[in-house]
A and B are shown apart, each in its own frame.
Chain A
Amino acid sequence: MSNFNSKIKAYWKKIHKSDGFSALTGALLAIAIGLLVGMVLMIIINPENSMQGIGRLLKGMFNNPRGGWIGLGQMLYRATPIIFTGLAVAFAFKTGLFNIGATGQYTVGIFAALLVGVLGDKLGAFQWIVAVLAGMGAGFIWGAIPGIFKARYNVHEVITSIMFNYIGMYLVNGLLNSNSLKTLVVDGSTNRTVKIDQTARTSYGFFNDLFPNSGLDISILIAIGTAILMYFILNKTVFGRELKSVGLNRDAAKYAGVNEKRSIVLSMAISGMLAGLGGALFILAPSVYNLGTVYPIENVLLNPGFDGIPVALLASSNPIGVIFSTTFVSYIKLAGNSMQGVGFVAEIVEIIIAVIIYFSAFSLIMTQNIGNIKVFIKKFKKKKQKEKPEFKGIDPKAGEK
């Protein structure tokens, strides 16, 4: 029995010391602090309704009037595109790059998939898969360009990818408004794109029975599969190891024989491809009640691209972690929607997410240094007990010798 205990202890120690564990506890701590800040804020803003509001905040998707089960499906449906953009950002982070251009890559992904989905009716059964591949390809190219600038001319990828967000968005809107496309893919009365052909829409799979009319389709399975694949590539393959080494120390990777320029371009391109895939699956989704999804032609950068950044940060760029952090963010966003019913603005949720991101960086440092904090507290207590002035950090035995 004692042997068993010691085994558990050793196992616990192993887990306890691993980076993943401290990342997880860090994230949970940050979430707790973020929710707490949000609640305090709600009490200050609107004391009367605060209890009701907090209840809705905590209930998240279970506020859904059609029942929590449908809410769950809806949460996953909403999470799907953000999982992809989160994976895009996380993948770039892991390889030492900050891809802030996920929204641009997401937009060109939507555009490419849309064209195939609307105009490619001759493709028949292949229309869906071609549309998905087109979205991935568009994202791949859109990610690769900042990568090429970074690798060849050392232009920082943050600057180029921000600019490529705008270039992408205006280019897509411009092309949609061009004479040749406008009549074909834009619905003039709503200034939105027309709906995707039925043959090109993503299948509901068994989700239609499981979560009827929640909008959830098999994209979520593709998202989870992609996350696992990314984790596998980064951690188990030579290719991933090389990308990661370039991220950790570009010079050393070069010295060790990695073609670091190619790695940078590929990292950005793959990151862009993930965002593009997210865009494609978003526009191809059959959506709630099978109405289809549309792209509004407005000069605004799309949100899912930016939401990818906080979820990647919260997950410490772990691809598997991204699934969970996105689920949480999507849960709390749904809570934000229903909080409006009792007189709170949905932006409180944005504040909570911001606080969580801020503290997730901070708490990671805290959990990694828990030992040091304990020592510090001990010292502090000792100092208080002995009233006489003493040199900080003295071993009490030192004076006696």
Chain B
Amino acid sequence: MQKIIEMRDICKQFPGILANNHVNFDLRKGEIHALLGENGAGKSTLMSILFGIYLPTSGQILKNGEPIEINSPNDANNYGIGMVHQHFKLVEVFTILDNIIMGVEPNKFGFVKRNQAKKEIEDLCKQYDLSVDLNSIVQDVSVNMQQRTEILKMLYRHNDILIFDEPTAVLTPQEIKQLLNTMKFLTKQGKSIIFITHKLDEIMEVCDRVTVLRRGNVIGTVETKNTTKEDLSRMMVGRDVIFNIEKKPAKLGDIILEVNDLTVVSERTKKNVVDHVSFRVREGEIVCIAGVDGNGQSELGQALSGLIKTNSGEIILKGVDVTHKSIRFRNDNGMSNVPEDRHKHGLILADTLGNNLALKKYHLKPFQNHGLIKTKPIYDLAKKLIENFDIRSGEGFKARMGALSGGNQQKAIIAREIDKDSSLFLSIQTVRGLDVGAVEFAHNKIIEERDKGKAVLLISFELDEVMDVSDRILVMYEGKIVKNVLAKDITVEELGLYMAGVKKDTVFPDKISQPYTPNEETQEEMTNE
């Protein structure tokens, strides 16, 4: 079949790290080609080179057999290459229509011909079966529709090579299915797609071929029909990955975190983003708050960690009311917290890896003495954590945090928080941007913490994580908890219904957080106390 894009012998050298080492990659016309690899394997670098964000150190790009030169995203666009970024590049206060035509507005003497554009886009929508409301403002529409807007942006620019960078990370199962169907449909219309994802199921479902990268090298390109999930993950990680996490039954202990009637009012909309939420987390259990992004989970997480103020209700940590206590008090008194936004809250990117690993500890002994910072314990801690958590950095703990790949940054945060040895491990989107190997590692660490008797509260938008790791699931919809259920008692499909707000239950915060007993009847009795 015809090779529409060929990348030959691409090398990209960053300080201290060779991100791409003689990578060969080709995309055939009309196929979906998955790009798979661990964090920091060089996928994003390779695609950034194709999209003109980076220049390769050496190597060549060919389109339809002709060598081409891509120096900027504009060049890429002229060659028909479009990209849906993991974080959408939309102007939030513009309408969808304006976002789609931005930069290529059809105009007469500088006046935008909106009606003409609108008609063209409506035709596109019909042709590709993508429904969007062109007159809505982007910030008011769902993530799902924002993504369709990004796809339409590429189609409107007549791009025929489409790059999707982890597009399913932000969607519900139903929406993922829809997106995968759209992708298949697009290839039938003659588009070619490069699909970056960590989710092997999705690859097996829609892709024709997979190229696996590991530490900057191509491990191989295989036809999907000739391979299995297990093979792919072995190629990617270099060892076997266990998909079904083994875990012992939970041994519940005392209540560690008690949230009573917590309400957070959004400053912007004046609505209750967290709406009278109550729940308990006990020692030795993993509670997972599931839900589609934007239903108040982020605010709940921030309220628990102290980043935003609560409007009513109370947060009790190990019997101490911390509702109005400082963040440092919570940090020092038994709360570990992996924040949602690692760049904004989790890390100081301009500082070194070593200092970031000690970010929550340097004011404690032995890292300081009479207010003077002691560097040796900080370095020792950093070395230990880098080793134990396999944080890959070009220059060790002296590396600038911002120079690490996203996955390794996340690993650094997880390492720091687990090392704190707190009784509550609060983690929001723990595995965002992590590859299967690292996800497995992080999940095992979390389960290890649980087995040590820690209380774990995860807030996750990813159903796989919710189903695999948690002992108990709380579903959040529009700021309220609409379901409280043991993980073994619910299916993915049913969970999806709760997440979408189709089903709602009256939830009693303590119903299932009683000491765990395998017998259903005794459990019922105990809840009546």
Contact = CB atoms under 8 A, between A and B. Distances in A.
A398 B61 CA distance: 11
A242 B348 CA distance: 12
B56 A393 contact: yes
A398 B347 contact: no
Nearest to B339: A255
Contacts of B362: 238, 241
Interface stretch (B28-36, B145-153, B194-202, B324-332): B324-332
B368 interface: yes
A395 B331 contact: no
Contacts of A259: 326, 328
Contacts of A365: none
Contacts of B143: none
A370 to B, nearest CB: 12
User: Which of the four size classes fits the interface of chain B?
Assistant: 35 or more
Contacts of B68: 391
A399 B62 CA distance: 12
B326 A257 contact: yes
B307 A255 contact: yes
Interface string A227-260: 0000000001111011001001101111111110
A44 B22 CA distance: 55
B331 A236 contact: no
B188 interface: no
Contacts of A241: 355, 362, 373
Interface string B37-76: 0000000000000000001111111000001110100000
A13 interface: no
Given A245-B351, A253-B348, A257-B327, A238 B371 contact: yes
B59 A252 contact: no
B70 to A, nearest CB: 10
B504 interface: no
A300 interface: no
Dominant SS among interface residues on chain A:
helix
A213 to B, nearest CB: 43
Nearest to A246: B348
A272 B82 CA distance: 52
A401 interface: yes
Interface string B401-421: 000000000000000000000
A132 B159 CA distance: 70
Contacts of B331: 256-257
Contacts of A392: 55, 69, 71
A248 B351 contact: yes
A237 B346 contact: no
B22 to A, nearest CB: 9
B58 A257 contact: no
Contacts of A125: none
Nearest to B302: A255
A249 B348 contact: yes
Interface string B278-306: 00000000000000000000000000010
A236 B372 contact: yes
B307 A394 contact: no
A239 B363 CA distance: 9
A392 B360 CA distance: 46
Contacts, number: 93
B360 A256 contact: yes
Nearest to A249: B348
Which of A254, A255, A259, A392 lies at the interface centre, i.e. has the most chain B CB atoms within 10 A of its CB? A255
Contact of A256 (B61, B349, B359): B359
A393 B59 CA distance: 7
Given A241-B373, A255-B327, A256-B359, A395 B58 contact: yes
Contacts of A252: 344-348, 359
B291 to A, nearest CB: 22
Nearest to A258: B328
Which of A236, A256, A258 lies at the interface centre, i.e. has the most chain B CB atoms within 10 A of its CB? A256
B11 interface: yes
A237 B337 CA distance: 25
B9 interface: yes
B11 A395 contact: yes
A257 B347 contact: no
Contacts of B372: 236-238
B423 to A, nearest CB: 17
B328 A394 contact: no
Contact of B346 (A255, A257, A401): A255
A257 B360 contact: yes
Given A245-B351, A395-B9, A255 B69 contact: no
B184 to A, nearest CB: 34
A262 to B, nearest CB: 10
Contacts of A395: 9, 11, 57-59
A249 B401 CA distance: 12
Contacts of B9: 395, 397-398, 401
B486 interface: no
Contacts of A258: 328
Nearest to A19: B400
B348 A393 contact: no
B373 to A, nearest CB: 6
Contact of A255 (B56, B58, B305): B305
A256 B344 CA distance: 12
A401 B60 CA distance: 12
Given A254-B327, A257-B327, A249 B349 contact: yes
A393 B347 contact: no
A241 B360 CA distance: 12
Contacts of A394: 58-60
Contacts of B347: 249, 252
B377 to A, nearest CB: 13
A240 to B, nearest CB: 8
Contacts of A401: 8-9
A237 B452 CA distance: 35
Given A252-B345, A392-B55, A401-B9, A237 B371 contact: yes
Contacts of B330: 257
Contacts of A249: 344, 347-350
Interface string B118-153: 000000000000000000000000000000000000
B20 to A, nearest CB: 12
B58 A393 contact: yes
B373 A237 contact: yes
Interface in B431-465: none
B305 A398 contact: no
A257 to B, nearest CB: 3
A378 B344 CA distance: 39
Nearest to B13: A375
Contacts of A248: 348-351
Contacts of A254: 307, 327, 345
A313 B330 CA distance: 38
Nearest to A375: B57
Nearest to A257: B328
B338 to A, nearest CB: 11
B308 to A, nearest CB: 11
Interface in B315-346: 326-332, 337, 339, 344-346
Given A257-B332, A257-B363, 17 more contacts: A237-B373, A238-B362, A242-B363, A248-B351, A249-B344, A249-B349, A251-B344, A252-B345, A252-B346, A255-B305, A256-B359, A257-B360, A393-B57, A393-B59, A395-B57, A398-B58, A399-B60
The 9 closest A-B pairs by CB, nearest first: A395-B58, A257-B328, A255-B345, A257-B331, A249-B348, A256-B359, A248-B350, A398-B9, A257-B327
Interface of B: 8-9, 11, 55-61, 67-69, 71, 305, 307, 326-332, 337, 339, 344-351, 355, 359-360, 362-363, 368, 371-373
20 contacts: A238-B363, A238-B373, A241-B362, A241-B373, A249-B347, A252-B359, A254-B345, A256-B331, A256-B360, A257-B332, A391-B67, A391-B69, A393-B57, A393-B58, A393-B59, A394-B59, A395-B9, A395-B58, A398-B60, A399-B60
Interface of A: 236-239, 241-242, 245, 248-249, 251-259, 391-395, 397-399, 401
